[in-house]
Amino acid sequence: MPATKFTTPEKYKYQNGFGSYHESEAIEGALPVGANAPQKPPYGLYTEKLSGTSFTAPRHENQQTWLYRVLPSAAHSPFIPREFTSNNTNPDTQQMHQIPNQLRWDPFDLDESVDWVHGLKLVAGAGDPTLKHGIGILIFAAGKSMGKNEAFYSADGDFLIVLQHGVLDIQTELGHILVRPNEICVIPRGVRYRVELPDGPVRGYILELYSGHFQLPELGPIGSNCLANARDFQAPVAYFEEDTMGEYEIISKFNGHLFVATQTHTPFDVVAWHGLYYPYKYDLGRFNTIGSISFDHPDPSIFTVLSAPSAHPGTAIADFVIFPPRWLVGEDTFRPPWYHRNTMSEFMGLIGGEYDAKSGGGFRPGGASLHNIMSAHGPDAETHQKASEAQLQPMKVGEGSMAFMFESCLMVGVTDWGLNLCRKVQEDYNEESWTRLKPHFQIPEGVRRMDNRVDEGPKEELVASMRLHS
Residues 172 and 279 sit within 8 Å (Cβ to Cβ): yes
Catalytic residue among 60, 133, 176, 297: 297
Closest CA to 411 of 361, 363, 373: 373
**DSSP letters of 302-334?**
GGEEEEEE-SSTT-EEEEEEEE-SEEE--TT--
Output phi, psi for 114, to 5 deg. -125, 160
Q: Which residues are annotated as a binding site?
A: 340, 346, 355, 377
Dihedral sign from CA coordinates of 343, 347, 352, 353: positive
Whole-number Å distance between alpha carbons of 138 and 133:
16
Q: Cα(305)–Cα(227) distance, rounded to whole angstroms?
A: 7
| Known binding residues for homogentisate | 346, 355, 377
What is the CB neighbour count within 10 angstroms for residue 193?
24
3-state SS class at 60: coil
1: exposed, middle or buried (Cβ count in 10 Å: 0-12, 13-18, 19+): middle
- Measuring CA to CA, which residue among 432, 433, 429, 430 is closest to residue 105? 429
Helix (H, G, I), strand (E, B) or coil at 220: helix
CB 82 within 8 A of CB 150: no
Q: Which residues are annotated as a binding site for Fe cation?
A: 340, 377
Active-site residue flag, 133 = no
- HSE of 385, CA atoms in CB hemisphere, 13 A: 11
Residues annotated as catalytic are 297
